[in-house]
Structure 1
Amino acid sequence: MGSIRKMKHSFKIKYILVTPLLGALLISIIALFLLHSVSEAQKKYLLESFSIRVQQINDRIDKHTDFITEYSEQFINELKNDPQIVYAAIYSNDKVTIFPSNFISIHQIRHQQEGRITEYNQKQILPVKLPLVDKRFNQVLELYAGLKADELLKDYSAQRNFVIIVISVFLLLAVLLVFWLDRFLQLPLKRAINKMGLLAGGQTNISGEQTIVAELQTMNTYLEKIDYYILLLKKRSHKLEESRNKKTKEIQRVKENLNNELELMYSLAQLPVELNEENDTDSLFHRLNKILTRQFKFDFSFVFLHKGEVYQYHSSEVKGLQMVNEKLAASFAEYRFDPDTIRQNGQIIPFVSEKPPFAELLQKMNINGVFAHLPIPQIGLLVVGYLDQKKRIKQDDLRRLLMISHIIAYRVENLEAIDILRRSLRIRTNELESSHQFLMESLQERDAMIKLVSHDLKAPLRNVSGLVDSIRRKYDDQLSKDIQERLNRIKSNMDKEMKMVEDILDSFKALEQKEQSDKVDLNIVVQRIRDELQFEIDQQNISFTVDSQLPVFYSNEHIIEHVLLNIIDNACKSFDDPRGNNRIKITAAETNHEVIIRISDNGRGIPKDKQETIFKPFTQLSTGQSARKLGVGLGLALIRNFMEKINGRIQLESAPGKGSTFILHLKK
């Protein structure tokens, strides 16, 4: 039992001896951790200080901008005077502004690790990246900067060396303490324990031992110093933690302000788009009140319009209080006030006040607050604010509200211009409709007259032509050559006049039937035309060939037959020699959208410079022996007109001596 007890006492003593070493190791770990925390806190402090300076520069540029120099250039010029800046670059929409231009490239800047000290061109740099807001053009830019980290690295090295020295000293002291405890405490303790054992065993003659109180007191002194340094490190750590928390709150506040600013900028950018949805001024101002109270977070909004020499109430909105809105509308229905009450030096300028011109009406409804007054150019007055008098309307808020008032004025001006344009358009439309009706009636009267005259001319012309034929049959042998030639000219002129009258009547008939759509079988139509012109075909000894199977489609059959008849008749008249190899060929093809008909002949042909002229009214070619066979020049002009009426078109391919090909394009 005695040996077991001695072993336990020996184990406890060894445990006491090892404790200083463990304490020294623990203190070393704590010191290294604190060193790292201090270094990180210094870096964060440097970054946060730079962030605050950036915000101050941004506010200064925003307030004193000249609107000429670009925002990025102004910002870089401000940063050039900062002694902590090694380089700075602003990146936006693939455009880079960098200072200094020959130190580092944007590619190298964007690939540096943010927040980690790196060495570049023998300089210690702390890279940082921050967002910037260009309020003039509602742009979000990126700022890349390199901060000087030489002093920071030197401080870190000095602190690290100091901690290493302190740890080394603590370890040395711990080793010495262990040695001292083992050399001067363990043996006396063992002796004391042995003496206690002897006393417990009944021995009373114990002498020759010296006290160890002095050694214990010295050891306690060292322990108190160690405890003091530990407490000192804890206090410093606590201060660093408080500083870090303070900076974190400041950063959070800056972020919240930036988010609010971005949200307001987005709402301001969307305002013209939302207001463009309104088509009259009343709905425009009602929409404006809702936008100001909901998106721009004001508690209330009033609109007063300029009526003569006063401002008259138009509309209002109080956020979230429908009953108050109704009472305000009823109380302010007839309210108006003199603009002189808010003029300053003869002008109405933006200002903030706790007592608006209509304060008495608001006090009756127990409404108080702070009010911003903004003139709407040429329109009236905009009043917005907060119900809480402790809130303040900042200068930035007034600037935004002034921009909103100008947007409203521009939109109202556009609405008035649109309204004037609509009235003018309505008046002009009515005038055009009246003119169109008058012209249509005049055209109908003209067409009726021409149709009547043309119809009445046919009978006299036919009678004259019949009398000429009768004279030639009865007295042909008795007539002189001169009289026969004169009769022939009379007959020819009568035929021309008859042809012209028939063309005019056919034109009116086709126009009356232009909306008609029938099933057109080209095989039947071409056969009818061939039968009608068989005498001319035989007389000119023409080889008339047609495709074996022509298409069938839907269109105006009367117009198509009239067009083909005129073209084929002209082709029969294009041959000068009846004994020649005269040919007329008709082919047709169809696509998904149209039918294409080609009428070809190998007759006289038409010169290039005359191919467009023949489609004009009262124009004809007078060359060749068959000139006397032509009419008055209405045929092809009417054909082109007919083709346009049924959404078709006509083409001509011809050359003198090689014949002509007329190509008809007919819509299905």
Structure 2
Amino acid sequence: MRRVLQFELILYALILVGGFSLLSSMDGFERFHDFSRTHEDLELDEAALILPIALICLAIYSYRRKREVFQKNKAIEDARNELQEAYDRIHDLTKSKEEFMAIACHELKGPLGGAMSALKLVSKDACDSHAYEMVDLARESMNNLQLLINDVLLFSSLSQQQEIVRSAPFSLRKVVTSIERITRVTAESRGLELSVSVDDDVPERLVGHEGWLRLICLNILGNAIKFTEAGRVTFTCSYQNSPDSRLVISIGDTGPGIPLENQEMIFEPYEQVETSRWKRSKGVGLGLAVVKKIVELLNGTIYLHSSPGKGSIFTITLPVESID
């Protein structure tokens, strides 16, 4: 930009010198003087004085405008560079955090597996039913922790833009049971009724992405429990085989609801709805933006039906195959 300003100044000077030389070589000044003397009523002398002054003023104005534009562009460029540096720092920190999460989870799986094995051996030697029940409860808690660690590893792989793992056979009812065990304690501690059901027409064995399915349900169900002050939370699964096989998951709550104008915004990254529902709680799990991304990667859909004071219902459909 500075070179452009210098070029314009040189161009103005060349035009001035060139014009003066051209007029001199053609006796333009003498002819203009003779013409002005014979037409004094036109006041050409004043016009001859005003014209170069006007040109000089125009040149000065143009230069000042160019300089202002240059300064503004430089400020914008500096701000852009600062934003890029900040983005790079955030990206590096996020990458380091995700790598730490992956390493920590892998390291946790070792001692967790050892503890599970030890509890299994202890359960065989339990002397009475109460001791056996306590050991079984501990095993169940450890198993839930192992599932959560696996889900964190899945999320880490998504953040690192790894490919979605291939689908595999799984039991939906077992997945739903594990989700219920993880979330029921929290729901009951908040005084909420948690209703979980799987329709009878859902096949016993499905082919799909078990880990991603559990991650999606845990996040939305966890949010429903977290943001509902009183009432109930429902978690239902149904099966639809026409025109293609799909699993339909519905998670509803009796919370404060989300205004229509904010319903699209909650699926955007780094966005939160400015209501007391969201302000009272720190964090929203993985975030609905991540959930939506996972659902779309699985060729599924996610819809929200909500209105203030009437709660919310999230409906997720995911393609699956039945092997019954």
Give aligned-pair identity as a percent: 12
What's the counterpart of residue 292 of structure 2? 643
Q: Quick check: which one's strand share is greater?
A: 1
Opposite residue 606 of structure 1, the aligned amino acid is D
Aligned-partner Cα distance in 1 for 2:150–2:31: 90
Equivalent residues of 2:199, 2:237 under 8 A apart: yes
What's the counterpart of residue 630 of structure 1? none
Question: C-alpha displacement at 1:497, in angstroms?
Answer: 2.6
Equivalent residues of 1:600, 1:659 under 8 A apart: no
1:396 to 1:562, Cα distance in 2 relative to 1, 3 A: farther
1:465 to 1:445, Cα distance in 2 relative to 1, 3 A: same
1:451 to 1:463, Cα distance in 2 relative to 1, 3 A: same
1:635 to 1:287, Cα distance in 2 relative to 1, 3 A: closer
Opposite residue 158 of structure 2, the aligned amino acid is A
Question: C-alpha displacement at 1:456, in angstroms?
Answer: 0.2
* Residue 317 in structure 1 maps to residue 41 in structure 2: no
Opposite residue 543 of structure 1, the aligned amino acid is D
Q: How does 1:465-544 map to 2 (within 5 A)?
A: 465-475=116-126, 477-478=127-128, 481=130, 483=131, 486-487=134-135, 490-513=138-161, 528=168, 531-535=170-174, 542-543=198-199
What's the counterpart of residue 280 of structure 1? 4
Aligned-partner Cα distance in 2 for 1:400–1:649: 71
Report the TM-score when normalising by structure 2: 0.54
Per-residue CA deviations over 1:247-304 (Å, capped at 9, x if unaligned) read xxxxxxxxxxxxxxxxxxxxxxxxxxxxxxx9823443566579xxxxxxxxxx52xx
Instruction: Provide the secondary structure at the position in 1 that maps to 2:128.
Output: coil
Equivalent residues of 1:640, 1:649 under 8 A apart: no
Instruction: Provide the secondary structure at the position in 1 that maps to 2:18.
Output: strand
What's the counterpart of residue 609 of structure 1? 256
What's the counterpart of residue 124 of structure 1? none
Looking at CA atoms only, which structure, 1 or 2, has the larger radius of gyration?
1
Per-residue CA deviations over 1:499-534 (Å, capped at 9, x if unaligned) read 3311210011122336x599x9xxxx5xx46x3324
Opposite residue 280 of structure 1, the aligned amino acid is V
Aligned-partner Cα distance in 1 for 2:301–2:289: 7
Aligned-partner Cα distance in 2 for 1:441–1:401: 59
In the alignment, structure 2 segments of 5+ residues that lack a partner are 37-43, 179-195, 225-234, 270-282, 320-324
Question: C-alpha displacement at 1:641, in angstroms?
Answer: 0.9
1:283 to 1:659, Cα distance in 2 relative to 1, 3 A: closer
Partner residue of 2:65 out of 409, 414, 417? 414
1:504 to 1:635, Cα distance in 2 relative to 1, 3 A: farther
Aligned-partner Cα distance in 2 for 1:509–1:438: 21
Partner residue of 1:585 out of 231, 238, 242? 238
Question: C-alpha displacement at 1:606, in angstroms?
Answer: 1.2
Question: C-alpha displacement at 1:587, in angstroms?
Answer: 4.8
Question: C-alpha displacement at 1:449, in angstroms?
Answer: 1.8
Aligned residues: 254
Equivalent residues of 1:546, 1:586 under 8 A apart: yes
What's the counterpart of residue 437 of structure 1? 88
Partner residue of 2:112 out of 461, 478, 486? 461
Q: How does 1:324-473 map to 2 (within 5 A)?
A: 370=29, 388-392=32-36, 393-396=44-47, 398-399=49-50, 401-473=52-124
Question: C-alpha displacement at 1:388, in angstroms?
Answer: 4.0
* Residue 652 in structure 1 maps to residue 308 in structure 2: no
Instruction: Provide the secondary structure at the position in 1 that maps to 2:33.
Output: coil
Structure with the larger RCO, 1 or 2 (CA within 8 Å, 6+ apart): 2
1:286 to 1:608, Cα distance in 2 relative to 1, 3 A: same
CA RMSD of aligned residues (A): 5.4
Opposite residue 446 of structure 1, the aligned amino acid is K
Aligned-partner Cα distance in 2 for 1:367–1:429: 54
Aligned-partner Cα distance in 2 for 1:425–1:280: 18
Opposite residue 467 of structure 1, the aligned amino acid is A
Report the TM-score when normalising by structure 1: 0.30
Per-residue CA deviations over 1:464-523 (Å, capped at 9, x if unaligned) read 233223212321x336x3x55654553344234323311210011122336x599x9xxx
Aligned-partner Cα distance in 1 for 2:164–2:123: 46
Per-residue CA deviations over 1:164-219 (Å, capped at 9, x if unaligned) read xxxxxxxxxxxxxxxxxxxxxxxxxxxxxxxxxxxxxxxxxxxxxxxxxxxxxxxx
Instruction: Provide the secondary structure at the position in 2 that maps to 1:317.
Output: helix
Equivalent residues of 1:545, 1:584 under 8 A apart: no
1:426 to 1:496, Cα distance in 2 relative to 1, 3 A: same
Question: C-alpha displacement at 1:546, in angstroms?
Answer: 7.0
Aligned-partner Cα distance in 2 for 1:589–1:405: 79
1:446 to 1:513, Cα distance in 2 relative to 1, 3 A: closer
Instruction: Provide the secondary structure at the position in 2 that maps to 1:414.
Output: helix
Question: C-alpha displacement at 1:609, in angstroms?
Answer: 2.2
Equivalent residues of 1:608, 1:654 under 8 A apart: no
1:465 to 1:458, Cα distance in 2 relative to 1, 3 A: same
Aligned-partner Cα distance in 2 for 1:429–1:484: 63
Instruction: Provide the secondary structure at the position in 1 that maps to 2:199.
Output: strand
